[in-house]
Amino acid sequence: MSEEWLNFVNDPRTTCKYGAKCYQKNPEHHKNYKHPPQGYQKKIKNIKHKNKGVQPYTITKKHSDKDPTKKLVPSPSQDFSVNKQEKKNDDSEKEEEKKNSSLVTLDENCLFYDKTEDNKLFKELFLVEMPPDFFQFYKCISEEPSVEQTLASVNLQLIGPYDLLLGRLPMLDNKDFYLIHWRFFYDPPEFQAVLKKKGESGFHIGYFRDDPNKKPEFMATNDCSKDCHIHPVADNIFGAVYCYLQNEKKTSPFMSMACQKLMDKVKKWANEHKFSLDEYNIKKRVSQTVAKTLHGAGIVVPYNKKTELGYRPLVESNANLKKLFAKLESSTSKNEKDDILSQIQPVITYASIAMDECDFGTGLEIGIDLFCSGLKELEANAVASLTSAYSLLNRDAFGKIAQVHLKHRRKGSDMSIF
């Protein structure tokens, strides 16, 4: 059956939206659309109602788990075996090196991009366009003698795409690195950081998009030194900064005056240019999402309520997934890891089948959850699920970001590539 499954997955034809339930007998329909192998509908029910009874599928791997940028087949045959050659000491040393080293070394002849507001260049380098409030905020701060000093007075600094506006973004031959410039450990492809708290803090502020081709849904914060949780805060960057300043103002009497001064400026500019300073409406977000996900910001995918096509829940709750991830992280032996991985495998198997039956949101949910675990053992499966789901949802830019991020994923507070 595994051969039939691989043939089905690799078939370039469009997947029939009715999957194994398709009643069409028209030869022309079967010529244009592919259908899952017979018998898989029964397997789905078994996975859903008898999770523990499902055994992981096995297949000889053709790609190394160490390079998640290689194309992986999002099928039930993904193997979770732990590489015997990976020693804990070696891993920790490599992680430490990753944490403390820049990805790009600049020489004295390096050229830099000119300061620009050309959204075509932002799209070329970061695969997304920046919204109007992004540029307006820079103009607002630029009225001060020094942009960097003004923000430093309230413990903030501009990062990521703002380096292009500041004229300090180097021209690189490998443009993939721009996708992870100031991309923190727990930042999913949907989240793009543009501000961070100065120093060793992992707190950062960024735009959250559900679709790389559409405007951001909201501004959010995350502290990568704590967890993967994403907190929606405002509709635009003015509201997000204003909220930050309100909180920062309370931390010290020395900060109060600087925060109040910038708050007044931000409020005046926002009012003049009609940007809301209100907090983000969480209820609005809840009504849009099909699943909450482990990072809490949820996912939005096309979903037909009548046919229930587009998403189906995972076979494990978020609470149970968290427990499994925690056990995997604390496991000390190969047998222990293999046992936990075999419990996670059916969840991914089910999500893979769901994607092949046009419930793309399920594949995106498991991909995001595996990414949020932060575990090396799950990275290959995370990138496989994410790239497949993003491709099926026509969000290929996010798939590319996920591939590059997981290839160069680093911990720490300084996520500049140079």
**Residues 82/341, Cβ–Cβ less than 8 Å:** yes
Indicate whether 61 and 184 sit together in one domain. Answer: no
Q: Which two tokens stand for residue 319?
A: 């609470």
| Final residue before a domain boundary, out of 283, 301, 334 | 283
Residue 112 forms part of a structural domain: no
Cα separation, 358 vs 212, whole angstroms: 21
Indicate whether 133 and 278 sit together in one domain. Answer: yes
Residue 103 forms part of a structural domain: no
Indicate whether 264 and 303 sit together in one domain. Answer: no
Q: Which residue has the higher pLDDT, 307 or 57?
A: 307
Radius of gyration of the chain (CA): 23
Note the pLDDT of residue 59. Answer: 33
Q: Which two tokens stand for residue 394?
A: 């026509």
Cα separation, 206 vs 190, whole angstroms: 10
Q: What is the pLDDT of residues 188-222, one digit of tens each?
A: 999 999 999 999 999 999 999 999 999 999 999 99
What does DSSP assign to residue 34? E
What does DSSP assign to residue 221? E
8-24 in b/e burial notation, b at 16+ Cβ within 10 A? bbeeeeebbeebbeeee
What does DSSP assign to residue 202? -
Indicate whether 92 and 139 sit together in one domain. Answer: no
Q: What is the pLDDT of residues 217-273, one digit of tens each?
A: 999 999 999 999 999 999 999 999 999 999 999 988 889 999 999 999 999 999 999
Which residue intervals of 224-375 are DSSP H helices? 237-248, 253-272, 282-288, 318-330, 334-356, 360-373
Q: How confident is the model at residue 5 (pLDDT cuts 50, 70, 90)?
A: low
Phi, psi of 146 (to 5 degrees): -140, 120
Residue 169 forms part of a structural domain: yes
**Residues 276/237, Cβ–Cβ less than 8 Å:** no
Q: How confident is the model at residue 106 (pLDDT cuts 50, 70, 90)?
A: confident
Q: What is the number of structural domains in the chain?
A: 2
Indicate whether 87 and 131 sit together in one domain. Answer: no
Residue 251's CB is within 10 A of a number of other CB atoms, namely 11
Q: What is the mean pLDDT of the chain?
A: 86
Q: Does the pLDDT of residue 43 top 50, yes or no? A: no
Report the percentage of the chain scoring pLDDT > 90. Answer: 71
Note the pLDDT of residue 92. Answer: 52
| Final residue before a domain boundary, out of 283, 306, 337 | 283
Cα separation, 237 vs 239, whole angstroms: 5
Q: How confident is the model at residue 3 (pLDDT cuts 50, 70, 90)?
A: low
**Residues 162/126, Cβ–Cβ less than 8 Å:** no
Q: Which two tokens stand for residue 229?
A: 């949780």
Indicate whether 65 and 174 sit together in one domain. Answer: no
Q: Is 357 a catalytic residue?
A: yes
Q: Does the pLDDT of residue 94 top 60, yes or no? A: no
DSSP for 12-27, please give it. Answer: -SEEPTTGGG-----H
383 burial (CB, 10 Å; 0-12 / 13-18 / 19+) is: buried
Indicate whether 296 and 329 sit together in one domain. Answer: yes
Which residue in the list 190, 217, 248, 357 is annotated as catalytic?
A: 357
DSSP for 104-120, please give it. Answer: ----TT--BPPP---HH
Residue 207: beta bridge partners?
192, 219
Q: Which two tokens stand for residue 418?
A: 């140079």
Note the pLDDT of residue 10. Answer: 65
Q: Which two tokens stand for residue 125?
A: 């380098």
**Residues 374/366, Cβ–Cβ less than 8 Å:** no
Residue 413 forms part of a structural domain: no
Residue 232: beta bridge partners?
220
106-136 in b/e burial notation, b at 16+ Cβ within 10 A? eeeeeeebeeeeeeeebeebbbbbbbebbeb
Indicate whether 297 and 278 sit together in one domain. Answer: no
Residue 193 forms part of a structural domain: yes
Report the percentage of the chain scoring pLDDT > 70. Answer: 80
Indicate whether 45 and 20 sit together in one domain. Answer: yes
Q: How confident is the model at residue 22 (pLDDT cuts 50, 70, 90)?
A: confident
Residue 105 forms part of a structural domain: no
Q: Which residue has the higher pLDDT, 146 or 390?
A: 390
Please name which of 177, 166, 188 lies closest in space to residue 300, comparing C-alpha atoms. Answer: 188
Indicate whether 334 and 276 sit together in one domain. Answer: no
Phi-psi region of 274 (alpha: psi -120 to 50; beta: other; left: phi over 0): left
Phi, psi of 205 (to 5 degrees): -120, 140
Range of the domain at 245: 119-283
Residue 110 forms part of a structural domain: no
372 burial (CB, 10 Å; 0-12 / 13-18 / 19+) is: buried
Note the pLDDT of residue 81. Answer: 42
| Final residue before a domain boundary, out of 283, 301, 332 | 283
Indicate whether 195 and 265 sit together in one domain. Answer: yes
